[in-house]
Amino acid sequence: MRILLKLVLDCDADAAWRALHSPRAVAELYAPLLGMQPLEAHPATSMTVGADVPVQLTFAGAIPVGRQLIHVSERYTEDARGPVRILRDSGIPLTGPLAALDVWDHQMAVSPAPGDPTKTLWRDRLVVGGAAALPLWPVLWATWQWRGARLRQVAPSWAHDPEPAAHGDGDAAA
Mean pLDDT, contiguous 10-residue spans, the chain (174 residues): 97 95 91 89 85 91 92 93 92 94 96 94 96 95 95 90 50 45
Specify the CATH number for the domain of residue 51.
3.30.530.20
CA distance 127 to 19: 22
In a domain, 171, yes or no: no
In a domain, 97, yes or no: yes
Give pTM, 2 decimals. Answer: 0.86
Tens digits of residue pLDDT in 134-153: 999 999 999 999 999 999 99
Tens digits of residue pLDDT in 2-28: 999 999 999 999 999 999 999 899 999
Range of the domain at 80: 2-158
In a domain, 166, yes or no: no
CA distance 17 to 110: 7
Residues facing 84 on adjacent strands? 77
In a domain, 165, yes or no: no
Q: What is the pLDDT of residue 73?
A: 96
Q: CB of 43 within 8 A of CB of 56?
A: no
